[in-house]
Structure 1
Amino acid sequence: MEDDDTVPHLPMDIMYKIPAHISDTASLARLASSSKFWRNLIKDPTFLDRLRRRHHDHGFTPSLLLGFFYQDKKRSSPNLWKHHIDKTRCLAPSFMRVSELSQFVGSKSARNAIKPLSLETFIPGLGASLNFYKPIASQDNFLALHRQSKATAANGGWAINDLLFVCNPLTGETFEIPSHLYVPPDHYALFVSNDVDINGRMSQSFELTAIWIKKGDRFICVCYSSKTGTWTRSQGVPQLMHGLYLVSSSTAASFGVIRWLCGSWKQMSVTHVATLHIGNMALSYLEIPPEAKRNKAPVPGSSADGGILLVIVQGLQMTLWKHNSALGSDSSSWVLSERIDMRSSLPQRVATLGIRAKVRLEMFRGKSGTMVLWIDEEGLFLFSLSDRSMRRIDRAHLTKKYFLCPYEIDWLSCLAITNLVVDGSLSLDAERQRTQGRWRTLMGMNLATNGAS
């Protein structure tokens, strides 16, 4: 490690090129922590813009995904749940690090027996205040949670409302969200923005959006802004194009839009991707490729540049389609980006079943290029598009016992906002030292020697 005031003895043109050849998040963060020279170079807007453009093909950066938050439903004291509305025994949200999931290839498999972390590990003082809260959305360091609560309605009866909470496990920030006083919505989406003040200082703000789908084709939306601290109902009630219906189980939210798959009543199959633009509540449509129309469960996603991705799992084969906006807005505007044979990555028993194997894609994260697969009689697995690695998430319980919420970071903002220090080589003030501790805990204690997994 370099002293903080020492500049490496290399030609300047070479030093400026070194960070451009590093794409791993932890490696860049460690380099930024080694000296002021590297830190200022990596934080420079010109470098960050070049880095973003370099990843615009897909934007897959595996180490953006730090792990999964989930609601733990293991048995607990009866005192915890006896007054709760649904009598479900739940604990506060827990966190499972990607770096500690068991990795295997084919028959070389292992079981992960690591004890998960509590959300209180990152934000001390929460304690049991988040018991029964379920993670519902995450975006660029922020995590949204909710639980349902019974309240007295105006007519004297009972109404079910959502209690909401947003936090940033990396910085330790917490936000208690006032109730929107409506029945629980069909979907929540979290959108994070990077803001720059007049002095050039960067900060982050967020919008939590609640969406109701009325009669299966009309959208009603209310948004909570961290800047104003209030809920605002969007103008207009957009309606799906005639003849289409929503496939509500498949959604993707990013860059101020939410995407659903839509089917045609006439064809009784998936035919379009519908995009709801939250800013003006406008709907746009994109016809999907013919191969996707023949599949019952394609999953939409977004790449790091906001492009539309579509993932199809059929048997042991996976195909990844990307929309090329320059080609138009019909099925011919899709490009087959990748075709992946998963047999070498799957458990040996599953691979030998061939087309009889039951593999289902549960969720897809376009920034990290990772997805969660459900494999019958095996459990949940994490699959990385970048290196084709497979990690076991849960094998002890062969049903989906936990609601998983992938936790990705916006590491460029982390560098620019918090001056993350991951090696301990600099003298730290108290706040930066706490941030360092949360970073190391989220990434895993072996970060300094092994990097991101």
Structure 2
Amino acid sequence: MEDDYSAPAPHLPMDIMYKIPAHISDPASLARLASSWKFWRNLVKDPGFLDCLRRRHGDHGFTPSLLLGFFYQENKRSSSDLWKYHIDKTRCLAPSFVRMSELTQFIGSKTARNARKPLSLETFIQGLGASLNFFKPIASHDSFLAFRRKSKDADGQTIEDSFCVCNPLTGETFEIPGLRYNIPPNHYALFVTNDVGLSGRMSQSFQLIGIWVMKGNRFVSACYSSKTGTWTRSGIIPQLLPGRYLVSNSAAASDGVIHWLCGSWRQMTLTHVATLHIGNMELSYLELPPEAKRNKAPLLASSADGGLLLLFVQGLQMSLWKHSSAPGSGWVLSERIDMRSYLPPRVVKLGISAKVGLEMFQGKSGTVVLWMYGEGLFLFSLSDRSLRKIDSENVTKKYFLCPYEIDWLSCLAITNLVADGSLSLDVQREKARGRWRALMGTNLATNSPY
């Protein structure tokens, strides 16, 4: 439905109309409602409603529609192929995007992803194209994406990283100065903050963090702030507890902290969650539940309410534990899922000998990327128990995947930009509509303005 400011009001009592948006649980539906009529838009923009929305954001469970899809870049190419892209600036090897709506519901061992041409990043932000050749997506947070490309000197030695941070939903792009180093960072994290100015208007700033884990398990960090436009190296160098090791691929970042699983060299088992607080570079520790200590490959994620989630698989059974952010809280077993009802028949027949591993875990949308030997990568939803195939095993090994998950308020970003006059109602608005439709795909009705 297109905007019609002169349209008559629906034949409903006003007190009922004011309550309708408060009962919409899906953010995409709320954005569609706000874009359909001036009354709904003004109601959604009201500070009181947004305050309630923020509180609901902290209280709701998993919301699958927050994960729009995956940005990805190829990991391996032949030297001759790469050289063609270096000498021909018209060739584009920028990151691509696959939407959730293009992942087929799993119905058997031969089901594969729809054979559609993947979307390029230039679909959402015009003009980038080949300028992002060889950039890999390294982090995402609340609709923002960070990309990195390694730069080398004449001798082929890595000297610095080139970066770009963008928001495909709004079309914003930020070029970031290179980060020089002798040893590449072990981890990157992206943090987005909602800022409210003196006029009451909301904007977003971000920090991109590079973390080195040096000898002796000492943490060194460098932070780029969009407010200052510069990299700053921290003078504080915390150290992991003696006798502990860090599980590098378990990092989960949210709200200014980065969590890792760590274990004991003496016991050779996992023991704690180590949390690095970026603001003051302090380390804190949280002991794992006994059941998780015996598992070799759990995953961490942050929940919508600021808590910590722990997920692991034993055989064909998945266990989800939650730790609240409230002081004095402990681990609670949230649910245990028998995966036999959802996995491919061939995997189920193998029983305890089946190889099923956890690759990624998104705490807000409740989506889990599973790797199954001989089958490939699958997306499992903790909310509705659906299983979708991402692609075959051989294909997915070529790519570096980065999930693109947005938050509640980001779903209203384009609506608010149009409503408060930040975007004109012609060319720029049409571009915003195109970006929204491209990202959402068939998740939204085709006649929706966004």
TM norm. shorter chain > 0.5: yes
Q: Which residue of 2 aligns with 1:4?
A: 5
The letter of the residue matching 1:344 is S
Would you say 1:366 and 2:367 are equivalent positions?
no
Q: Secondary structure at the match of 2:311?
A: strand
> Does 2:17 align with 1:15?
yes
Contact 1:151-1:161 within 8 A present in 2 as well: no
Map of 2:165 onto structure 1: 166
| 1:379 has 2:376 as partner | yes
CA apart distance, 1:74: 7.7
For residue 413 of structure 1, give the secondary structure of its aligned residue in structure 2.
helix
Q: Secondary structure at the match of 1:102?
A: coil
Matched residue SS, 2:179: coil
Which of residues 26, 35, 49 is equivalent to 1:33?
Answer: 35
What is the TM-score when the length of structure 1 is the normalising length?
0.89
Tell me if the contact between 1:252 and 1:300 (Cα under 8 Å) persists in the aligned partners: yes
CA distance in 1 between partners of 2:309 and 2:409 (Å): 23
Match of 1:148 in 2: 150
Q: Say whether residues 1:403 and 2:403 are aligned partners.
A: no
Instruction: Say whether the 8 Å CA contact 1:112–1:392 is kept in structure 2.
Output: no
With 345-354 and 442-451 compared, the bigger mean Cα shift is at 442-451
Q: Which residue of 1 aligns with 2:421?
A: none
Alignment check: 8 A CA contact 1:7 1:35 kept: no
- Residues 9 and 83 (structure 1 numbering): CA distance in 2 closer, same or farther, change over 3 Å? closer
1:104 partnered with 2:145: no
CA shift in 2, pair 1:83/1:314, >3 Å: same
Give deviations 1:136-175, integer Å, cap 9, x for gaps.
Answer: 00111111111111126xxx99443211111111111111
Aligned to 1:223: 223
**Which residue of the other structure, out of 437, 441, 444, is the alignment partner of 1:447?**
444
Question: What secondary structure is seen at the aligned counterpart in 2 of 1:439?
Answer: helix
Shift of 1:73: 5.3
User: 1:171 is matched by which residue type in structure 2?
Assistant: T
For the residues of structure 2 that align with 1:386 and 1:447, how far apart are their CA atoms? 19
CA contact (8 A) 1:102 1:391 kept: yes
Write the distance in 1 (CA, Å) between the matches of 2:110 and 2:23: 32
Opposite residue 7 of structure 1, the aligned amino acid is A
8 Å Cα contact 2:143-2:410 kept in structure 1: no
- State how far apart, in whole Å, the 2-side matches of 1:149 and 1:357 are: 41
TM-score by length of 2: 0.90
Instruction: Say if 1:112 and 1:240 are closer, same or farther in 2 by CA, change over 3 A.
Output: same
CA RMSD for the aligned pairs?
A: 2.7
Change (3 A) 1:12 1:80: same
CA contact (8 A) 2:57 2:408 kept: no
After superposition, what is the alpha-carbon deviation per residue over 1:367-399, rounded to whole angstroms, capped at 9, x for unaligned?
111111111101011111110101111116265
Match of 1:349 among 346, 349, 358: 346
Matched residue type, 2:328: G
Structure 2 residues not aligned, in runs of 5+: 419-423
Aligned residue in 2 for 1:286: 286
Q: Deviations over 1:281-310 (max 9, x none)?
A: 011100010010011111111001221110
Deviations, residues 77-129 of structure 1 (Å, cap 9, x unaligned): 94642697xxxx99221101011111125669454322211111111122212
Tell me, yes or no, if the aligned pair for 2:104 and 2:113 is still in contact at 8 Å: yes
Per-residue deviation at 1:58?
5.8
The 8 Å contact of residues 112 and 391 in structure 2, kept in 1 or not, is answered as: no
- TM superposition shift of 1:130: 1.2
- The residue that corresponds to 2:425 in the other structure is 428
Moved more, 318-327 or 268-277: 318-327
Alpha-carbon displacement from aligned partner over 1:195-234 (angstroms, at most 9, x marks no partner): 1111111111110000000115110011001111100112
Give the unaligned 5+ runs of structure 1: 422-426
Assess, with a 3 A threshold, how the Cα gap between structure 1 residues 327 and 356 changes in structure 2: closer, same or farther: farther
CA distance in 1, matches of 2:352, 2:21: 44
97-106 or 185-194, which deviates more: 97-106
Distance (Å, rounded) in 2 between the aligned partners of 1:251 and 1:336: 21
Query: Match of 1:179, SS?
Result: strand
| 1:224-263 equivalence runs, <5 A | 224-263=224-263
Counterpart-to-counterpart distance in 2, 1:300 and 1:446: 28
Selected match of 1:338 from 335, 339, 354: 335
User: SS at the partner of 1:305?
Assistant: coil
Q: Which residue of 2 aligns with 1:181?
A: 180
Q: 1:225 to 1:327 in 2, by over 3 A?
A: closer
SS of residue paired to 1:137: strand
The verdict on how the C-alpha distance between 1:108 and 1:43 changes in structure 2, with shifts beyond 3 A counting, is farther
Please show how residues 304-343 of structure 1 align to structure 2 within 5 Å: 304-326=304-326, 328=328, 333-343=330-340
User: Following the alignment from structure 1 to structure 2, what is the Cα–Cα distance between the partners of residues 126 and 326?
Assistant: 43
**Cα distance change, pair 197–210 in 1 and its aligned pair in 2 (3 A):** same
| Structure 2 residue corresponding to 1:70, chosen from 66, 72, 92 | 72
Q: Distance in 2 between matches of 1:45 and 1:74?
A: 48
1:424 match: none
Q: Structure 1's 36 and 77: CA in aligned 2 closer, same or farther, altered over 3 A?
A: farther
Query: Does the 8 Å contact 2:259/2:273 carry over to 1?
Result: yes
In 2, Cα distance between the equivalents of 1:325 and 1:257?
Answer: 13
